Structure 1
Amino acid sequence: MKISRERVVPVSWCPLDHGWLKLNFDGAVFKEINAIGLGAVVRDATGCFIAGLSKRVDNMTCPMTAEALAALDGIKLAQQLECQRLCIEGDAADIISALKSREANLSKIGHIVDKIKKLADSFQEVQISQVKRTGNTVAHFFVKEALFVQDMRYWRDAAPDFVVPNLLEDILKVTVLKGCSE
């Protein structure tokens, strides 16, 4: 597996080269119910929806754990799609840094980071990059949906209604801009 570790921070969702899939992940804390929410979405090179998930984990309130578990569930989802080239994006700088690092992660989320890295080895090529929240909105809507999910919910092929406007907005931006400018 080849891992690209460049530091690019796109402002909005950016298209990929043909043959790549993009995983965006996000996590949040729902203090009012003592739980965390996880969200992940996998899209093709043009931004079209392939799969997504929303998950709630009760009795947890750590933001870093939420982000790390969202990345873990997201990469598991991408692995089920049997893609070879995966771009992983999230807006949590600490998680992205940990995933890119070649050093052992001794933090409380180190074991989760190790699992993600091990799963990443199953792909032919992986790119990992941080994205600003504005480039991660679809994943964020999957997190918000987790508030209403008992455990976990998956979607495949057909995007759920709550993300369709954001997916279309991203695709229209790509069509108008024909790529991303930094």
Structure 2
Amino acid sequence: MLVLTKTFRFQKLVQLPVCEQLIRYFHREPIPVAWKKPENGWTKLNFDGSCKGRNGKSSIGGVVRNDKAEFLLGYAESIGCANSTIAEITALRRGLELVLENGWNNDVWLEGDAKTLVEILVKRRTIRCLEVQRHVSHINSILPELNNYIVSHVYREGNRAADKFAQMGHQLDKPTIWRDNPPHEVLNIVHEDAQGKIVLRRR
């Protein structure tokens, strides 16, 4: 079962003077965003991809936590040159593989901050890129092995731990996995997420 918990809204674009655009931007009410722990018995995978520079140097990362917001596993690695969609979908694919390898295939919540990828998975959007098609096919072959799962979008402010792992991936020479205890670079974020810290996002 796929559940899309984020409602997408599309508004008509109106060209305004730059000064007025800036005034409106900075006077909009910020959106409170927080990472949410999964329901009792569920496992949550947050994933993210990162692209830097004109050459498209990319990396991936993700974090798995239980219903008590306890850190179970984190992963990060450099994947060479790729666009943002490839990075995001590779991050999800790797996360799913680790979820299965560790036996967390009951009640899994998959969450990322890439709307396009969530739409591809939930709405079965048509994909033209052959490489993306290949990744999606592999993911679709993994998903039936999960007994129950949902897929959702979250703003980047609610995906900070996965984002940090993805950033760390740029500095790694080989794929790295952390188990039970997060690295110090992510420790504060994991603790803040567990406490329900709210991060304000400008619209």
User: Could you state the TM-score of these two structures normalised by the residue count of structure 1?
Assistant: 0.87
Match of 1:123? 146
Q: Against the structure 1 CA distance between its residues 33 and 102, is the aligned structure 2 distance closer, same or farther, given a 3 Å change threshold?
A: closer
Match of 2:114? 92
Which of 65, 71, 75 is the equivalent residue of 2:86?
65
In structure 2, how many angstroms separate the alpha carbons of the residues matched to 1:88 and 1:8?
16
Letter in 1 for 2:159: N
What is the root-mean-square deviation of aligned Cα atoms in Å?
2.1
Q: Against the structure 1 CA distance between its residues 146 and 105, is the aligned structure 2 distance closer, same or farther, given a 3 Å change threshold?
A: same
Q: CA deviation digits over 1:150-172, x for unaligned, max 9?
A: 12100111111111100111111
Match of 2:48? 26
Structure 1: runs of 5 or more not aligned: 178-182
Residue 8 (structure 1) shift: 5.9
Letter in 2 for 1:100: V
Which of 69, 76, 85 is the equivalent residue of 1:47?
69
Q: Secondary structure at the match of 1:15?
A: coil
Q: Against the structure 1 CA distance between its residues 131 and 143, is the aligned structure 2 distance closer, same or farther, given a 3 Å change threshold?
A: same
Residue 78 (structure 1) shift: 1.1
Q: Secondary structure at the match of 2:85?
A: helix
Structure 2: runs of 5 or more not aligned: 9-31, 199-203
Q: Secondary structure at the match of 1:5?
A: coil
Residue 116 (structure 1) shift: 1.2
Letter in 1 for 2:37: P
User: Could you state the TM-score of these two structures normalised by the residue count of structure 2?
Assistant: 0.78
Are 2:4 and 2:153, in contact at CA under 8 Å, matched by a contact in 1? no
Match of 2:166? 143
Are 2:6 and 2:154, in contact at CA under 8 Å, matched by a contact in 1? no
Residue 98 (structure 1) shift: 0.7
After TM superposition, the runs of 4+ consecutive aligned structure 1 residues lying more than 6 A away are none
Bigger-Rg structure (1/2): 2
Match of 2:4? 5
Residue 136 (structure 1) shift: 0.2
Aligned residues with identical type, % of pairs: 25
In structure 2, how many angstroms separate the alpha carbons of the residues matched to 1:94 and 1:110?
14
Number of residues of Structure 1 aligned to a counterpart in Structure 2: 173
